[in-house]
Amino acid sequence: MCGIVGLYTKTEALRPTLGQHLSEMLITMTDRGPDSAGIAVYGADTPGTVKITVQADDPALLSDLDVPGAAIRIVDTHAVLSLPADTAAATEAQLRATPGLRVMGTGSRIEIFKEVGLPVDVSRRFGLPQMRGTHGIGHTRMATESAVTTDGAHPFSTGADQCLVHNGSLSNHNSVRRRLAREGVSVSSENDSEVAAAYLTHAMAGGRDLGQALEGALDDLDGFFTFVVGTRTGFGVLRDPIACKPAVMAETDDYVAFGSEYRALASLPGIETARVWEPEPAKVYFWEA
């Protein structure tokens, strides 16, 4: 089941209200996924600075965070640490080793927030309508292959400024997981979607761009899936060759939008004159600034 939304702005017009539009789109997809929800938003970057988003079930762990040189912004069960790039890797390793903390994502622009609960509650808790940025993706989950947990919620991020949301199921994710492990890539959750995210990150680390990595997924990942992927400057969409999961896209001079159903796009400005289409099976769609 699950619901996916995404919005990639091509001009400045929608960037101040990106979060508002993503929130409305996400909440519209509630009946496709009432178990948990999450969003990734790409905001402004500061040269020489890296952001690390962490989550804790116990808010006291966030209040007690003491990271030298880091500015810490607490948002409900998450905290965004902004720190010098040359200390980010060591800090991330320290955070990952701290009991009770989960690293949601890192990068110069990305912030990821996800929790168990209805999309309307998740959006409110993290202040999604007030967020601004160039692009963002969101997911509402109906758990089928693993437990309803924060770990199982989307988006999944396995590389700097990269994330993925997924609707569907991969039949060969365990074999891909083992192959990635042999090549030094670990996947922490049981979710097949994190395997897909790690696959794309690994492919891009090997020199492919996002479009080429998505092309490779058609050969290496089996099952039925719709992927929406974000990078620091890009936005990509891919459906499997059967394409049994619903998907619709819309494009204007100001934006490109994705929704599992058209109703997720219906409130976007200019939708009445947008080019609206169903993305073709096994075709990579990719926009980049």
Q: How many CB atoms lie within 10 A of CB 97?
A: 8
pLDDT at 202 over 70: yes
> For residue 46, what pLDDT is reported?
94
Q: What are the backbone angles phi and psi of residue 163, rounded to the nearest 5°?
A: -155, 165
Q: Are residues 151 and 266 in the same domain?
A: yes
* CATH number of the domain to which 223 belongs: 3.60.20.10
As given in the structure block, the two tokens for residue 173 are 């994710």
Share of the chain above pLDDT 90, in %: 93
Q: How many CB atoms lie within 10 A of CB 7?
A: 27
Query: Per-residue confidence at 212, pLDDT binned at 50, 70, 90?
Result: very high
The answer to whether 246 touches 256, Cβ cutoff 8 Å, is no
CA distance 231 to 83: 20
* CATH number of the domain to which 72 belongs: 3.30.70
DSSP string, 25-53: HHHHTGGG--SEEEEEEE----TTEEEEE
Nearest to 1 by CA among 213, 219, 202, 224: 224
- Tell me the pLDDT of the chain averaged across its residues: 96
Nearest to 133 by CA among 252, 17, 4: 17
Domain that holds residue 58: 46-108
The answer to whether 129 touches 172, Cβ cutoff 8 Å, is no
Positions marked catalytic: 2
Q: 176-215 burial by CB neighbour count: b if 16+ within 10 A, else e?
A: bbeebeeeebebebebbbbbbbbbbbbbbeeeeebbebbb
∠41-46-48 over CA atoms, to 5°?
A: 120
Q: Are residues 37 and 173 in the same domain?
A: yes
Which of 108, 133, 152 marks a domain boundary?
108
Q: Are residues 128 and 188 in the same domain?
A: yes
The helix (run of H) or strand (run of E) holding residue 180 is helix 173-182
Q: Are residues 122 and 238 in the same domain?
A: yes
Q: Are residues 68 and 186 in the same domain?
A: no
Query: Per-residue confidence at 18, pLDDT binned at 50, 70, 90?
Result: very high
∠257-261-266 over CA atoms, to 5°?
A: 60
> For residue 190, what pLDDT is reported?
84
The helix (run of H) or strand (run of E) holding residue 83 is strand 78-84
Share of the chain above pLDDT 70, in %: 99
DSSP string, 99-157: TTEEEEEEESSEEEEEEES-HHHHHHHHTGGG---SEEEEEEE--SSS-SSTTTSSPEE
> For residue 63, what pLDDT is reported?
92
In the predicted model, what is the mean pLDDT of residues 163-188? 95
pLDDT at 188 over 90: no
* Assessment of whether the complete model's pTM goes beyond 0.85: yes
- C-alpha Rg value of the chain to the nearest Å: 18
pLDDT at 144 over 80: no
Which of 57, 77, 108 marks a domain boundary?
108
Q: Are residues 186 and 118 in the same domain?
A: yes
Q: What's the structural domain count of the chain? A: 2
Q: Are residues 257 and 155 in the same domain?
A: yes
159-169 pLDDT, tens digit per residue, is 999 999 999 99
Q: Are residues 100 and 34 in the same domain?
A: no
As given in the structure block, the two tokens for residue 183 are 């090549």
> For residue 151, what pLDDT is reported?
87
72-120 pLDDT, tens digit per residue, is 999 999 999 999 999 999 999 999 999 999 999 999 999 999 999 999 9
220-268 pLDDT, tens digit per residue, is 999 999 999 999 999 999 999 999 999 999 999 999 999 999 999 999 9
Q: Are residues 140 and 243 in the same domain?
A: yes
Which of 59, 77, 108 marks a domain boundary?
108
For residue 109, which amino acid is it? R
39-84 pLDDT, tens digit per residue, is 999 999 999 999 999 999 998 999 999 899 999 999 999 999 999 9
Q: Which burial class, exposed, middle or buried, applies to 68 when counting CB atoms under 10 A from its CB (0-12, 13-18, 19+)?
A: exposed
Q: Are residues 158 and 283 in the same domain?
A: yes
pLDDT at 145 over 70: no
Q: Are residues 30 and 171 in the same domain?
A: yes
Q: Are residues 141 and 202 in the same domain?
A: yes
> For residue 9, what pLDDT is reported?
98
The bridge status of strand 234-239 relative to strand 71-75 is unpaired
